Amino acid sequence: AAVSEDNLRSPICCIMGHVDTGKTKLLDNIRKTKVQDAEAGGITQQIGATFFPVEAIKQKTAALQKTMNLQYKLPGLLVIDTPGHESFTNLRSRGSSLCDIAILVVDIMHGLEPQTLESLRLLRAKRAPFVVALNKIDRCYSWKTCPDSPIRDALAQQNEHVIREFEDRAKKIMVEFAEQGLNAEVYWRNKDLGRTVSLIPTSAISGEGVPDMLMMLTKLTQERMSKSLAFVDILQCTVLEVKVIEGLGTTIDTILVNGSLSEGQTIVVCTLEGPVVSTIRSLLTPHPMKEIRVKGEYIHHQTIKAAMGVKICAQGLEKAVAGTQIHVVGPDDDIEELKDAVMSD
Ligand code: GTP
Ligand code: MG
Ligand code: NA
C-alpha cells in the first residue's frame, strides 16, 4: 500500500544499556535538563519518556547539515529512557517492546557488559535497528573539550595519542561485537547501514558526538522505516505507571504508540481488580524536551496523536497494571468483549 509521507508518526527510540553508561545523562545533554542529578543513587528506576520536536532536532544537528544534507520528514522523536540496573529486566523488556529504533549505550572505557548483552538480545529478538553510542569519550586521557561539537570536528582538535587511544578502544569494542555475531564500525566509515552497526562516540557531559547521534537516528528512521512509521488510526497505548498528583488525583502515565486519544472517550483499563471502564477526564503531556517521569507543568490536549508520552486523568485507575494496553470503546464496540480483551493482554 502507498504510504503517505506527510502522515508519519514520530518514531519511538528506546535508550538501553548497562547501568551507569550515561543513558539519562545523554538525554539530559540534549534536553539541557538535570534529571539524572535528582535520581536516587544516580540510578534510573522507571521508564521515562521525552518528546523531541523536529525543530529541536534540526537545530541540534545544524552543524552537520552541510555535510549530511538531511531531510526532515518526521514530526519528532519520542525517546524512552530505561534503567540499566540488572534488577530491571522487565522494564528494559517493556521499553524495547515499544520501540521502533534504539540507542545502545556502551561506556567506551568498559566495552560490552552484562546488561549490554541482555539489551542486545532484546533488540535482536525484536529486529529493531539500533545505533551504538560509545559514551564517555571525554575520559580518553587528556581529551580537549569541544562542547556540543560534531565528533569528527572534536577528534580533529585532539592530540595524536588521544586519537590512538580512541581508535584502540573502538577496535576492541568492534571485536566484542564480532564475538556476538555483529559487524560494527565507526559510523563515518560504515558503508553498509543495513548490515553493520554504527558506533557513534559521544560525551554526555560535554556533548561531543550528540549532533551525530541525533543525525544518525534521523537518517535510520527516515531512510529505512518510513513504511512502519505511517500513522494508522488503531490505538496502541501502554500503561507505564500509576501516579497520584496533587490537584489531579490518580493519573496514569502511558506511551501512546499509535493512533490517537481524545478527552471524553470511554476507555477500558486492566487493573488488579479486573477491567475498569472509565472516561478520559483530561489528557496531559509534559512540555516538549521534558521528561514525563519528572513532576512539572503539563500541557492539556483535547486530542493527541502518536507517538507521545501521555498522562491520562480518569477515575478508577488506582490499580491499573503497568505494561497492559488501554482500549477505547468505539460506537460499535461491545463493552463486555472489550473487558475480556483488556484482561487477556
Ligand atoms: P542507569 O539508568 O542507572 O542505568 O544509568 P545511566 O546509563 O542512565 O547513566 P547515568 O546517566 O546515570 O550516568 C552514570 C554516571 O556516569 C554519572 O555519574 C554521570 O555523570 C557519568 N557520565 C555519564 N555520561 C558521561 C560521559 O559522557 N562522560 C563522563 N565523564 N561521565 C559520564
Ligand atoms: Mg539512567
Ligand atoms: Na545511573
pLDDT tens, residue by residue, 299-321: 999 999 999 999 999 999 999 99
Using alpha carbons, select from 225, 227, 198 the residue that is nearest to residue 214.
Answer: 198
Give the model confidence (pLDDT) of 158-216 as tens digits.
999 999 999 999 999 999 999 999 999 999 999 999 899 999 999 999 999 999 999 99
Binned at pLDDT 50, 70 and 90, residue 322 comes out as very high
Ligand 1 atom index nearest CA of 19: 4
Q: Give the ipTM of the model, two decimals please.
A: 0.99
The whole-number average pLDDT for the span 286-299 is: 96
pLDDT in tens, 143-152: 999 999 999 9
Q: In the β-sheet with 12-17, what is the strand arrangement from edge to edge?
A: 48-53, 76-81, 12-17, 101-107, 130-135, 196-201, 183-186
Give percent of the chain with pLDDT exceeding 70: 98
Instruction: Say yes or no to pLDDT of 1 above 50.
Output: no
Q: What's the 127 CA to ligand 2 centre distance in angstroms? A: 23
Residue nearest (by alpha carbon) to ligand 1 atom 5: 20
49: helix, strand or coil: strand
Neighbours of ion ligand 2 (CB under 5 A): 23-24, 44
Determine the pLDDT at residue 243: 94
Arithmetic mean of pLDDT over the chain: 95
| Ligand nearest to the Cα of 22, by number | 1
Pocket test for ligand 1, best of 14, 16, 21, 25 (most atoms within 8 A of CB): 25
Indicate which residue's Cα is closest to atom 22 of ligand 1: 22
Ligand 1 atom with the smallest distance to the CA of 39 is: 12
Mean pLDDT confidence for 96-107: 97
Amino acid found at 185? E
Which residues have CB under 8 Å from 156's CB, separation 6+? none
Query: Which ligand gives the minimal distance to the CA of 84?
Result: 1
pTM for this structure? 0.96
Beta carbons of 198 and 135 less than 8 angstroms apart:
no
Distance between Cα 335 and ligand 2 center (Å)? 39
d(CA 202, CA 210): 6
Three-state DSSP at 39 gives coil
Cα(76) to centroid(ligand 1), Å: 25
214 Cα: distance to centroid of ligand 2 (angstroms): 18
Lookup result for grid cell 522523536? 77
- pLDDT tens digits along 221-233: 988 787 788 888 8
Q: Is the pLDDT of residue 3 over 60?
A: no
